[in-house]
Amino acid sequence: MASINDVARLAGVSKATVSRVLNRTAPVHKQTEKRVNKAIRLLQYKPNLLAKGLKQKSGRLIGLLVPDINHPTYSLIVKHVESYARAAGFHLVLANTGNNPDEEARLIDNLLCRNVDGIIFLRVSNKSLAAERMAQSGVPFVLIDRAYEHSPFPFVMSDNYMAGVLAARYLISKGHHKIACVTGPPDISASIQRLAGFQDTLKQNDIALDPDHVLEGDFSFECGRRIARDILDTLPEISAIWAQNDPMAIGMMHTFLKNRIRIPGDISIMGMDDIELAALFVPGLTTVRQPFEKMCELAVQNLISSDSDRFSQLLLMPELVERDSVGTC
Amino acid sequence: MASINDVARLAGVSKATVSRVLNRTAPVHKQTEKRVNKAIRLLQYKPNLLAKGLKQKSGRLIGLLVPDINHPTYSLIVKHVESYARAAGFHLVLANTGNNPDEEARLIDNLLCRNVDGIIFLRVSNKSLAAERMAQSGVPFVLIDRAYEHSPFPFVMSDNYMAGVLAARYLISKGHHKIACVTGPPDISASIQRLAGFQDTLKQNDIALDPDHVLEGDFSFECGRRIARDILDTLPEISAIWAQNDPMAIGMMHTFLKNRIRIPGDISIMGMDDIELAALFVPGLTTVRQPFEKMCELAVQNLISSDSDRFSQLLLMPELVERDSVGTC
DNA sequence: CTGTATTATGAAATCGGTTTCATAAAAATC
DNA sequence: GATTTTTATGAAACCGATTTCATAATACAG
């Protein structure tokens, strides 16, 4: 690989001049510029980003920490983050944390060694001290899709309370009264907020959400299946269910369909997120869509913008997507 | 951030010694080592990977180029590659090519500037000169899941011919005679090989595969839906279909089910890949599983191993996974 | 035509490590 | 105890860029 020295030698100039041609950081005589560019072309010169990064203390990298790359929602977020990062001239370093706090901590340290320009955390485990560690380092970071309660850390996420409101309003508008809600893990603010919005809206419409009808899930397909079986056994009166994410909703539909329960004929199901599969499953899943692309755009923008116009916390509005899994009651 | 100089100063030694303590590259007096380690702890020193990489001409990075991060198969591969790469002390730089040859070329150049230790291409577009470019650079690379015809470039992929054989044998064992095959894009060797294995095996069992029963798809859910409609309209005699990947198979099931065709009662469907959804769909999709994890392990291993024991081309055996989408005929 | 302002350029320092080479100190040999 | 061998360490070069500062070359003003 040719270095800037080789270019300088071939063009008969100093490497400072080559650097100036490359970065347009100071005016260069037209003649000289031409010679330099010719040399660059001839040698197929490409600047070494490690050297550049070393001097400028910026690796032109953005780190993205994800609990599970293969999860349909997260991989969608990865895709959008990569796209916006690269559009801004950054590469993406991707790492799977597997929800392991130790791994998270180690990864943060590693990434900081690389002079990353920022780190985006996707649903960082809430036991981890990731955010504290980052805040201490001074490197910008954003949490996506999971906030710490009462914390000062920057995040961008959907307005989960409103998601609950939208879900409840829709089910009410379809005439449902006997309603259940399958939540995410109970220690996560998303689960709590979604449930609160859901519950409050039902109450405002004089519909009680029986505590027995609030089922605790963990956002996985598997638990959707399990809970669907429980509902079949113990709660036959239910006419509609809101699962707080699509995988659980689809897991439930899976079990119901296997047991010859018709959807939405016998029971209505609603999800949240709007993953690709939501449109593809039969029946199509009515769900509350999270604006993932916008979230990613804002997160990246936030990292690479100057300190002054960096937001701290941002709530985005979710949106109802109507398909075929909810019927009138 | 403390640098190696700060550590050296605090410990009262030269930075050469600190480097030796860090990398165990030469013996250091126990006393000295202790002092250095203490200084490291005190300053919370972390070596700067850009500087290290600059000198050693290795960024400890592996590049992964993917056509679509959000695709269930590809995101699975991303996950495995990341896992094996990190276990070996490398970070993963992920980039989405969107099947755009220009973007691919640009990305390769960018990654090479970072002194990546290798690049893995996932289903690189076959119009692109990616492999040629890489070969020229001298940086190790591996193609996953797509080979160039008659090319000398290293790859690791499933034995697609055998996949076709496995699919055909299974359908034959279930008594099917009127069989159709939905292929991937016709210019991809995977499609061709799979079809060849399928066709040959049917022929060996005296079952003709009517050319009209070979339908051309593009590996997407969407085309599965479209082709299913075509089959309903024009090929009612078919009793079993092998779609050359799971998304197409699921797209087809989607359309059939919507049209009240029972699976496997009225028609049997078989896929390939064994994506997560294959187990989750109702009915569960019988499919030919690709050993993705093994592929990733080998690809990473290959990149980071010394020149001498680097493989060139590797075919891995696929495996039949039986679920509920194929019935007896 | 001289003196000043402007523009283009190069030399050298710098970023934070690794690595080579020389040498001082300690240990081993006779 | 002198000589050789071994071990531990530091000084300095180097990786490939950027950036500061000084200066040569040119343009401009009077």
Domain spans in chain B, listed from the N-terminal domain onward? 4-47, 60-153, 160-291
CA of A47: nearest nucleotide by C1' is: D17
Beta-bridge partners for A67: none
Q: Is the CB of A127 under 7 A from strand C?
A: no
Tokens of A53: 């990064």
- Contact (CB, 8 A) for B269 and B285: yes
The gap between A7 CA and C22 C1' (Å) is 34
Q: Quick one: average pLDDT of A215-241?
A: 94
What pLDDT is recorded for position B81?
98
Helices B246-258 and B72-87: crossing angle in degrees, nearest 10, is 150
Q: Which residues contact A112 (CB under 8 A, 6 or more apart)?
A: A137, A139, B46
Rounded Cα distance, A147 and B100, in Å: 36
Residue with tokens 């869509």: A289
Query: CA dihedral defined by A35, A39, A40, A43, rounded to 10 degrees?
Result: 170
Residue A124 reports pLDDT greater than 90: no
Contact A48 B110 (CB under 8 A): no
DSSP state of B245: S
Rounded Cα distance, B73 and B246, in Å: 9
Of B173, B188, B215, B220, which is closest to residue B327 (Cα–Cα)? B173
Residue B144: phi, psi to the nearest 5? -110, 135
Q: Which residues contact A119 (CB under 8 A, 6 or more apart)?
A: A62, A63, A64, A65, A108, A111, A134, A139, A140, A141, A303
Contact B91 A93 (CB under 8 A): yes
Q: Quick one: average pLDDT of B280-301?
A: 94
Residue A145 binned pLDDT confidence (cut-offs 50, 70, 90) = confident
Taking CA A237 as the corner, what is the angle to CA A177 and CA A182, rounded to the nearest 5 degrees? 70
Residue with tokens 């380690």: B37
Q: Quick one: average pLDDT of B106-119?
A: 95
Query: pLDDT of A62-86, one tens digit each?
Result: 999 999 999 888 999 999 999 999 9
DSSP letter for each residue of B252-294:
HHHHHHHTT--TTTT-EEEEEE--HHHHHSSSPPEEEE--HHH
- Contact (CB, 8 A) for B1 and B7: no
Same fold, A4-47 and A160-291: no
Residue B279 CA to its chain's centroid (Å): 20
Query: pLDDT of B182-222, one tens digit each?
Result: 999 998 889 999 999 999 999 999 999 999 999 999 998 88
Residue with tokens 């500037």: B113
The half-sphere exposure of A46 on its side-chain side, counting CA atoms within 13 A, is: 14
Q: Which residue of A has its CA nearest to B2?
A: A113
Q: What is each CA distance from A266 to A171, A232, A247, A261, in whole angstroms?
A: 15, 11, 20, 6
Residue B308 binned pLDDT confidence (cut-offs 50, 70, 90) = low
- Contact (CB, 8 A) for A144 and B79: no
Helices (H), chain B: 4-11, 15-23, 30-43, 49-56, 72-87, 101-113, 130-137, 160-173, 189-204, 221-234, 246-258, 276-280, 292-304
Residue A149 reports pLDDT greater than 70: no
Greatest alpha-carbon pair distance for chain A in Å reads 86
What pLDDT is recorded for position A264?
95
Q: Which nucleotides of C are covered by protein (CB under 7 A)?
A: 7-12, 14-20
Q: Quick one: average pLDDT of A3-17?
A: 95
B262 touches chain A (CB under 8 A): no
Query: pLDDT of A272-314, one tens digit each?
Result: 999 988 998 889 999 999 999 999 999 999 999 876 677 788 9
- Contact (CB, 8 A) for A57 and B51: no
- Contact (CB, 8 A) for B217 and B184: yes
3-state secondary structure at position B238: coil
Q: Which residues contact B198 (CB under 8 A, 6 or more apart)?
A: B164, B165, B167, B168, B181, B209, B242
Query: With respect to CATH, is domain A60-153 assigned 3.40.50.2300?
Result: yes
Q: Which residues contact B147 (CB under 8 A, 6 or more apart)?
A: B153, B155, B157, B189, B313
Q: Is the CB of B96 under 7 A from strand D?
A: no
- Contact (CB, 8 A) for A128 and A105: yes
Helices B4-11 and B15-23: crossing angle in degrees, nearest 10, is 110
- Contact (CB, 8 A) for A38 and B49: no
- Contact (CB, 8 A) for B235 and B242: no
What pLDDT is recorded for position B149?
65
Query: pLDDT of A34-46, one tens digit each?
Result: 999 999 999 999 9
Q: Which residues from 18-57 of B have any strand C atom under 7 Å from their CB?
A: 18-20, 22-23, 25-26, 45-48, 51-52, 54-56
Taking CA A139 as the corner, what is the angle to CA A135 and CA A141, rounded to the nearest 5 degrees? 70
Rounded Cα distance, B143 and B304, in Å: 15
Task: Determine the CATH number of domain A4-47.
Answer: 1.10.260.40
Of A277, A319, A320, A290, which is closest to residue A171 (Cα–Cα)? A320
Rounded Cα distance, B67 and B79, in Å: 15
Share of chain A above pLDDT 90, in %: 80
Which class in CATH covers the domain with range B160-291? alpha beta
Residue B26 binned pLDDT confidence (cut-offs 50, 70, 90) = very high
Rounded Cα distance, A182 and A213, in Å: 8
The minimum CA-CA distance between B284 and chain A, rounded to whole Å, is 10
Identify from B4, B46, B49 which residue to disrupt to test chain A contact, counting A C-beta atoms within 10 A and taking the largest count: B49
Q: Is the bond preceding residue B186 a cis peptide, omega within 30 degrees?
A: no
Q: Quick one: average pLDDT of A228-233?
A: 95
The gap between B28 CA and D29 C1' (Å) is 68
Query: pLDDT of B139-196, one tens digit each?
Result: 999 999 877 767 788 999 999 999 999 999 999 999 999 999 999 999 888 999 999 9
Q: Quick one: average pLDDT of B306-320?
A: 85
Tokens of A118: 């920022």
3-state secondary structure at position B188: coil
Mean pLDDT of chain B: 93
Range A147-180 burial, b when 16+ CB lie within 10 A, else e: beeeeebbbbbbbbbbbbbbbbbbbbebebebbb
Q: Quick one: average pLDDT of B235-250?
A: 95
Q: Which of the pair, B311 or B214, is modelled with greater confidence?
A: B214
Rounded Cα distance, B30 and B96, in Å: 49
The gap between A25 CA and C7 C1' (Å) is 14
Residue B306 reports pLDDT greater than 80: no
Rounded Cα distance, B174 and B269, in Å: 12
